[in-house]
């Protein structure tokens, strides 16, 4: 087994582990509910509780809602006590298990940590991808754009599979792991894209590529050196490049206004020291035109802050990117204007959409955004 790049991160790039050249099914463990006091459970068909430390099976009436809670260090399913941890197993693969109103495929592992429930969905990579793709890309886009997203989402998931190992699951449902919503998230066209690319991943020199992506690049993708700290030189296929396809994106130009007091409070919460803000300006730009640092003049002095860290600390939904075209002052508020949405590294999703509209296929799209990387089919 070859060694792969281990990355130490500032923001959201996960640690990476080496994996064998295969795509094993039924290996993805997704933390879907964390630190809960109680949960409601039901199933469309016949299912049972498997008590892991004893091997005992207890069959449960389907369709009915059941309350699961903790008491005295034991799990109570209605009034029946079980030792932690347990697995909920459907006897029919077509029958989903419902937790707190949301349906999930395959098995659910329920564990106890710090007197709270963690619920973990155990399922195959294909079903996992079907539950995340509509959350990451518009299902109505061209099929080639959807297929490109399926390949990089599969690659991203497998490359980051052990991200939450210390919590006894692989991935969570938040954006840094990819947003997963179970069966309710699935759409026919994105499911088809997952199936059409079954087993396909993006590789570089025989290893899973770092398949980062973002919503819109604003005309130029970003070099990851300006966003995260890497323990060595980032791979060449992630270097920033000009992107003419993104120009029609609805996020190509944006603006957002936020009160100076709110900026101050959020930066203080993030660990920075500053007073009442008087002025914010860009302090240096990189090749893509994105701000490297912001200079903040306040009543407590001047703060120079990494622009990407500023955006995440203040409001990454309102301040869509650090490709600023202007920062204006309006009394006690500041208006940020810019282009693009997201960190800008890797595939621009809106650019991929417009490439697909121009009849580029998914491999051509991926080769444009990750030059030198290869789309490769791995055995399942």
> Model's pTM, two decimal places?
0.88
pLDDT reported for residue 25: 53
- Residues 240, 221: contact at Cβ < 8 Å? yes
Residue 51: beta bridge partners? 86
In this prediction, residues 255-280 reach a mean pLDDT of 96
Q: Which of 334, 319, 322 is nearest to 280 (CA)?
A: 334
The residue-averaged pLDDT of 62-88 equals 88
- Segment 258-281 shows an average pLDDT of 96
pLDDT for the residue 15: 38
Q: What is the pLDDT of residues 161-201, one digit of tens each?
A: 888 888 888 898 888 889 999 999 999 999 999 999 999 99
Q: What is the pLDDT of residue 347?
A: 98
- pLDDT number for residue 124: 92
Q: Where are the domains of the chain?
A: 28-123, 130-239+347-377, 254-338
The whole-number pLDDT of residue 211 equals 95
pLDDT bracket for residue 95 (50, 70, 90) = confident
User: What is the pLDDT averaged over residues 359-379?
Assistant: 95
Residue 7 scores a pLDDT above 60: no
Q: Which residue has the tokens 């302090």?
A: 283
Statement: residue 352 has pLDDT above 70? yes
- pLDDT score for 229: 78
* Mean predicted lDDT score pLDDT of the chain: 89
Does the pLDDT of residue 317 top 60, yes or no? yes
User: Which tops the pLDDT comparison, 8 or 145?
Assistant: 145
- 46-63 pLDDT, tens digit per residue, is 889 999 989 999 998 887
Measured in residues, the chain has a length of 380
% of the chain at pLDDT higher than 90 = 70
More confident residue, 37 or 233: 37
Count other C-beta atoms under 10 Å from residue 142's C-beta: 21
Mean pLDDT over residues 239-251, rounded? 93
Average pLDDT in the 95-124 region?
91
pLDDT at 351 (0 to 100):
97
> Which region among 68-72, 128-132, 203-207, 314-318 has the lowest average model confidence (pLDDT)?
68-72
Give the per-residue pLDDT at 22: 42
């Amino acid at each position: 087994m070859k060694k792969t790049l281990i990355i130490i991160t500032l923001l959201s790039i996960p640690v990476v582990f080496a994996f064998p050249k295969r795509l094993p099914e039924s290996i993805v463990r997704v933390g879907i509910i964390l630190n809960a006091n109680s949960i409601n459970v039901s199933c469309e068909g016949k299912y049972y509780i498997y008590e892991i430390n004893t091997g005992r099976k207890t069959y449960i009436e389907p369709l009915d809602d059941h309350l699961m809670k903790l008491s005295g260090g034991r799990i109570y399913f209605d009034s029946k006590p079980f030792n932690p941890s347990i697995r909920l197993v459907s006897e029919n693969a077509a029958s989903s298990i419902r937790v707190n109103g949301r349906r999930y495929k395959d098995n659910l592992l329920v564990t106890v940590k710090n007197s709270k429930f963690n619920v973990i969905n155990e399922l195959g990579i294909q079903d996992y991808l079907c539950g995340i793709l509509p959350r990451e890309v518009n299902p109505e886009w061209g099929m080639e754009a959807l297929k490109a997203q399926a390949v990089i989402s599969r690659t991203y998931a497998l490359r980051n599979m052990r991200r939450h190992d210390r919590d006894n699951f692989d991935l969570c449902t938040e954006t840094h792991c990819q947003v997963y919503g179970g069966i309710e998230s699935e759409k026919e066209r994105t499911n088809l894209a997952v199936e059409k690319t079954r087993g396909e991943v993006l590789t570089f020199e025989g290893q899973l590529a770092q398949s980062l992506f973002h919503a819109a690049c604003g005309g130029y993708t970003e070099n990851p050196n300006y966003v995260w700290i890497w323990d060595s030189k980032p791979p060449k296929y992630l270097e920033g490049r000009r992107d003419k396809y993104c120009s029609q994106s609805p996020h190509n130009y944006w603006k957002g206004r936020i009160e100076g007091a709110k900026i101050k409070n959020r930066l203080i919460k993030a660990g920075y020291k500053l007073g009442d803000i008087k002025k914010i300006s860009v302090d240096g730009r990189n090749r893509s035109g994105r701000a490297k640092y912001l200079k903040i003049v306040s009543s407590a002095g001047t703060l120079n802050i990494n622009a990407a860290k500023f955006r995440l600390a203040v409001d990454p939904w309102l301040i869509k990117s650090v490709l600023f075209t202007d920062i204006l002052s309006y009394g006690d508020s500041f208006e940020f204007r810019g282009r693009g949405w997201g960190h800008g590294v890797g595939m621009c999703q809106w650019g991929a959409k417009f490439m697909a509209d121009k009849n580029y296929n998914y491999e051509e799209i991926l080769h444009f955004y990750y030059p030198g990387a290869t789309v490769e089919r791995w055995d399942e």
